[in-house]
Amino acid sequence: MSRFLRSRLLAGVAAVVAILGLGYACSTRQGAPALTAGDAAQRVYVAPGDYDEFYAFLSGGFNGQVGVYALPSGRRLKTIPVFSQYPENGYGYSEETKAMLNTSYGFIPWDDVHHTTLSQTAGEDDGRWLFVNGNNTPRIARIDLTRMETEEIIEIPNAAGNHGSPFVTENSEFVISSTRFSVPVPNADVPIADFKQRFKGQISFIRADQPGKMAIAFQMIVPGFSYDLARAGKGPSHGWMFLSTYNTEQANSLLEVNASQRDKDFVAAVSWKAIDACVKAGKGRPASVEYLHNVVEEFTRIARTERLTTVTQLEPKDCPGAMYFLPTPKSPHGADVDPTGEYITAGGKLASVIPVHSFSKMQKAIADKAFEGELDGIPVLTYESTLAGEVQNPGLGPLHTEFDGKGYAYTSMFISSEIVKWKLGTWEVVDRVPTYYSIGHLMIPGGGTRKPNAKYVIALNKITKDRYLPTGPELTQSAQLYDNTGNKMRLLLDFPTEGEPHYGNAIEAAKIKDKQLKFFKLAENRNPMVARAERETGVTRDGKKVHVRMTAIRSHFAPDNIEGVQLGDTVLFHVTNLEQDWDVPHGFAIMGNTNGELLVMPGETRTLRWIPSRVGVFPMYCTDFCSALHQEMQGYVRVSPAGSNVALTGTLSRGPSAAPKAGGEKE
Amino acid sequence: MSRLVRTLVVVAALLMSAAYALPLWRVSLFAPQYPEGLGMLIRVNTVDGVKEHDLANINGLNHYIGMKRIEPDAIPELRFMPVLLGGLIVTGLGVAALGKRVPFAIWGTALGALLLAGLADYWRWGYDYGHDLDPNAIIRIPGMSYQPPLLGTKQLLNFRATSWPASGGWALVLAAALVAFALYLAFFRRARADRTSARVASVPFMVAA
């Protein structure tokens, strides 16, 4: 059955390719050398209780999160919510975390995460932070890798479709934002037909080396193309950022045809060092905008929103020498820089070759003024003047390239559904393996840095079709792990992923593992509503607001009986987890709450808002199986009619061995 | 008293002073849920955890079986033990300076008696914690008590408890052994000890240095 299905699907794929008139796809595909199932199993088997070799952080695409996986086993370890509310741990539901999802448009519970980038020191992944982009409502987030939580999110004004983002420079000086959907800048009520006159792109550089202090250093307003992907230069090309562009036709409708007319689009080379110098020389101007910056405060663990109203803007003509266009066939997707910093490869998704630009040739061409023209003050270099070489007949639909640091490049081929390995310098294809199916990004641990660890190649696929047990119309997303220790890549493992894994990063576990925070120190908790011991708990009324300062420890809440709440009140449960031990979170939920639940880490305070809608007695309980007496970890809240004379109390019985002690109002 | 005996007493007194800095006893607890273990260090003046929050976590777990909380401030022994030990060290040095056999014999006997009394008190303390349980405890198993072993390993429900002297405890044991040896030399091998004292006496000095 499944073999029949598979052969039918393969026939279908071949037919589609033939219809597209791109008929040599299947003839270029060679089978990977056979690896027996036993060999492959041994390579990915991590014995129970043993640790994997790598952490992999895969973007969740339209789930707005990041998945943490372990390689080579492909086991999923965690989901880190970033732009999406996450009922599992209360992110975006608790009062402390809601502000993380604030934007200038208001509270948004979702975004589309495409790309990850690890912070770097001297061009190497250093394991401090992970940056990810929000594509739909342009934002960039920073995740702290010692606690694997989102700590900071900055919104990008004048951007739309923050796709070419957040690729980092080699000392984490900057992460980048670039526009995929050009829009009027500043945005305004204009006819869409005025696209060519009124619509602009932006390229922003965001300071990324100071936790909690991400800031847009400067924003370049650029021609209204689609800026797709980017990579920072490294080594000799440090100080530059290379971005792919498409729709240089500047079409505003039926882009699939109208944006695919030109033979060549561009790789944009942008010198942020030159822009930095121009800005310091006073050539930037403050533009009036509105964007938010949300940061988790270190000791209160409360997310705070800062509203910002200006950004330093400039145009290419204000800063000659800061930006050049390199003609590149055809609607390029990835723009990737090799570990030496010399080569810039472009995956022209509709091109029949993979063009590779040379950074040193580009500098010579600039010095020689080998320009074929100028666009909005941006010199356009000739194709030949920057070209290092072309990989001929690589396959169909080249998208992204990663490197192994040994002189080889690996390019994902969306249409012919394969990974192609080729040699830098000779541009010859040396190996190819099929992917199942339609690979988007590929990833090598450190493959975009100066120090790749190319033991494995990971395919991040768009289609899984018959690879897993079917699950209705929506199938699982997936990644594939290839062995890359020999001359030929060999498929080791398929593993399902959450959401759509656009891009990801893998890093040696040793760089992160021992820095993991086990719990927050209760003594350092400065949340204004913390209760560091049961004697500090209490229930207080502030008009229509009832604050319950509450503690959780195995296996009870204090207080656990609350009376005196009235219909019309808003109750705020400030729950502090008193545990100071690893892996003992407590949960908190109450019946009928139209909000979510809390998952409170040891030493942390989290607040849940509840607006009772009826009179009665409502149970609350711990939702995380914390201990042998977890089922007993519960309590009641009594809700009386408005104006009732039931006294406001919060109590906890001390058990039959001690005299019952009233809690009540303590403040 | 020979030079060797006096030297041994001085060395023993110095070893005993190490107990101010080093833990006397270590109780380690392992369970399936605690592969990394929890541990308790008994010091001359306090009880603390091997890791920062271990004692609080042990107290947290003990409430299920109705054991009293281990509160160092509420244990009187921990207040007078440092004084007692200091007294022993000072009088020991005095005995060595004086060089008379009778005070030495009294001091040596007192030291042995006090160490034994300390051990007995520690055992009694463990017995009390292990047996004096809250009658309304969450987990009540008829006939079950939770006294940690004085020495060695014992399974207490899901926990394997191991108890051994820690570095400071071993220093006291060694000090006691040196004093015992010195007593033996002073009272049973006096003549021979005198003959060899010059040669042997240099060894502890080197050790002490």
8 Å CB contact between A575 and A598: yes
Query: What separation in angstroms does the CA of A301 have from each of A94, A523, A605, B193?
Result: 11, 13, 8, 70
Cβ separation A655–B136 shorter than 8 A: yes
Of the residues A484, A515, A546, which one is the last residue of a structural domain?
Answer: A515
Which residues on chain B are in Cβ contact (under 8 Å) with A582? 36
As given in the structure block, the two tokens for residue A537 are: 């708990």
8 Å CB contact between A326 and A343: no
**SS3 of residue B155 by DSSP:** strand
| Range 536-595 of A in CB contact (< 8 A) with B | 553-554, 579-582
At A550, which CATH number?
A: 2.60.40.420
Kindly report, residue by residue over A617-634, the tens digit of the pLDDT. Answer: 999 999 999 998 999 999
In angstroms, what separates the C-alpha of A580 from chain B's closest C-alpha? 6
Query: Which site among A519, A556, A581 would you substitute to test the B interface, given the most B Cβ atoms closer than 10 Å to its Cβ?
Result: A581
Identify whether B204 is part of a domain. Answer: no
Over range A429-457, report the average pLDDT. Answer: 97
Q: Which residues contact A500 (CB under 8 A, 6 or more apart)?
A: A59, A60, A61, A62, A63, A462, A477
Kindly report, residue by residue over A252-296, the tens digit of the pLDDT. Answer: 888 888 888 888 999 999 999 999 999 999 999 999 999 999 999
| Residues A503 and A540 occupy one common structural domain | no
Position A21 pLDDT exceeds 70: no
Position A409 pLDDT exceeds 90: yes
Kindly report, residue by residue over A466-522, the tens digit of the pLDDT. Answer: 999 999 999 999 999 999 999 999 999 999 999 999 999 999 999 999 999 999 999
Identify whether A371 is part of a domain. Answer: yes
Position A662 pLDDT exceeds 70: no
Identify whether B186 is part of a domain. Answer: yes
How many independent structural domains does chain B possess? 1
Sole residue written with tokens 């070419």:
A164
| Residues A561 and A484 occupy one common structural domain | no
| Residues A306 and A161 occupy one common structural domain | yes
CA nearest neighbour of A335 among A239, A266, A276, A284: A266
CA nearest neighbour of A558 among A657, A653, A655: A653
Which residues on chain B are in Cβ contact (under 8 Å) with A655? 136
- B129: preceding bond cis by omega (within 30 degrees): no
User: What pTM was computed for the model?
Assistant: 0.90
- Measured from the Cβ of residue A653, the count of other Cβ atoms closer than 10 Å reads 13
Identify whether B131 is part of a domain. Answer: yes
In angstroms, what separates the C-alpha of B51 from chain A's closest C-alpha? 10
A647 touches chain B (CB under 8 A): no
How many independent structural domains does chain A possess? 2
Over range A41-65, report the average pLDDT. Answer: 97
Identify whether B130 is part of a domain. Answer: yes
8 Å CB contact between A483 and A489: yes
Identify whether A6 is part of a domain. Answer: no
Query: Residue A348's pLDDT is what?
Result: 83
Nearest CA in chain B to A554: B60
| Residues A561 and A594 occupy one common structural domain | yes
Kindly report, residue by residue over B15-72, the tens digit of the pLDDT. Answer: 999 999 999 999 999 999 999 999 999 999 999 999 999 999 999 999 999 999 999 9
Domain range for B105 is 3-191
Query: Residue A173's pLDDT is what?
Result: 97
Kindly report, residue by residue over B75-127, the tens digit of the pLDDT. Answer: 999 999 999 999 999 999 999 999 999 999 999 999 999 999 999 999 999 99
| Residues A560 and A468 occupy one common structural domain | no
Cβ separation A581–B57 shorter than 8 A: yes
Cβ separation B136–A628 shorter than 8 A: no
A626 touches chain B (CB under 8 A): no
Torsion of CA B17, B21, B24, B26, to 10 degrees: -170
CA geometry: angle at B128 spanning B124 and B130, to 5°? 115
* Amino acid code (one letter) for A370: A
Identify whether A324 is part of a domain. Answer: yes
Of the residues A515, A535, A555, which one is the last residue of a structural domain?
Answer: A515
Which residues on chain A are in Cβ contact (under 8 Å) with B52? 580
8 Å CB contact between A370 and A358: no
Identify whether B118 is part of a domain. Answer: yes
Query: Residue A661's pLDDT is what?
Result: 43
At A373, which CATH number?
A: 2.130.10.10
CA nearest neighbour of A294 among A149, A172, A183: A149
Position A380 pLDDT exceeds 50: yes
8 Å CB contact between A571 and A610: yes
Torsion sign, CA atoms A322, A327, A333, A339: negative
Interface A-B: count of C-beta contacts within 8 A:
20
| Residues A357 and A500 occupy one common structural domain | yes
Which residues on chain B are in Cβ contact (under 8 Å) with A551? none
Distance CA(B7)–CA(B197), nearest Å, equals: 10
Distance CA(A78)–CA(A56), nearest Å, equals: 11
8 Å CB contact between A439 and A418: yes
Identify whether A7 is part of a domain. Answer: no
| Residues A461 and A604 occupy one common structural domain | no
Kindly report, residue by residue over B146-163, the tens digit of the pLDDT. Answer: 999 999 999 999 999 999
Identify whether B167 is part of a domain. Answer: yes
Distance CA(A596)–CA(A651), nearest Å, equals: 24
Identify the contact set of chain B against chain A, taking CB-CB distances under 8 A.
36, 52-53, 56-57, 60, 64, 134-136, 138-139
Identify whether B200 is part of a domain. Answer: no
Kindly report, residue by residue over A224-261, the tens digit of the pLDDT. Answer: 999 999 999 999 999 999 999 999 999 988 888 888 88
Distance CA(A102)–CA(A95), nearest Å, equals: 12
Nearest CA in chain A to B56: A580
Distance CA(A214)–CA(A156), nearest Å, equals: 11
- Give, for A219, the enclosing helix (H) or strand (E): strand A215-223
| Residues A483 and A542 occupy one common structural domain | no
CA nearest neighbour of A174 among A208, A219, A140: A208
| Residues A541 and A508 occupy one common structural domain | no
Query: Which site among A551, A555, A580, A627 would you substitute to test the B interface, given the most B Cβ atoms closer than 10 Å to its Cβ?
Result: A580
Cβ separation B64–A657 shorter than 8 A: no
Which residues on chain B are in Cβ contact (under 8 Å) with A629? 64, 138
- The string of DSSP codes covering A294-355 is EEE-TTT--EEEEEEEEEEEE-GGGSTTSEEEEEESSSEEEEEE-TTS-EEEEEETT-SEEE
Sole residue written with tokens 């709450």:
A593
Domain range for A645 is 522-651
| Residues A235 and A301 occupy one common structural domain | yes
pLDDT higher at A239 or B191: A239
Cβ separation A657–B136 shorter than 8 A: yes
Kindly report, residue by residue over A453-470, the tens digit of the pLDDT. Answer: 999 999 999 999 999 999
**CB-side neighbour CA atoms (13 Å) of A202:** 25
Nearest CA in chain B to A655: B136
The per-residue pLDDT of chain A, averaged, comes to 93
Cβ separation A628–B64 shorter than 8 A: yes
Cβ separation A554–B60 shorter than 8 A: yes
Position A536 pLDDT exceeds 80: yes
Position A7 pLDDT exceeds 70: no
Distance CA(A443)–CA(A354), nearest Å, equals: 18
In angstroms, what separates the C-alpha of B73 from chain A's closest C-alpha? 18
Identify whether A662 is part of a domain. Answer: no
| Residues A189 and A57 occupy one common structural domain | yes
Identify whether A119 is part of a domain. Answer: yes
Report the complex ipTM.
Answer: 0.82
Of the residues A472, A491, A515, which one is the last residue of a structural domain?
Answer: A515
Identify whether A656 is part of a domain. Answer: no
Kindly report, residue by residue over A412-429, the tens digit of the pLDDT. Answer: 999 999 999 999 999 999
Cβ separation B53–A580 shorter than 8 A: yes
| Residues A354 and A444 occupy one common structural domain | yes
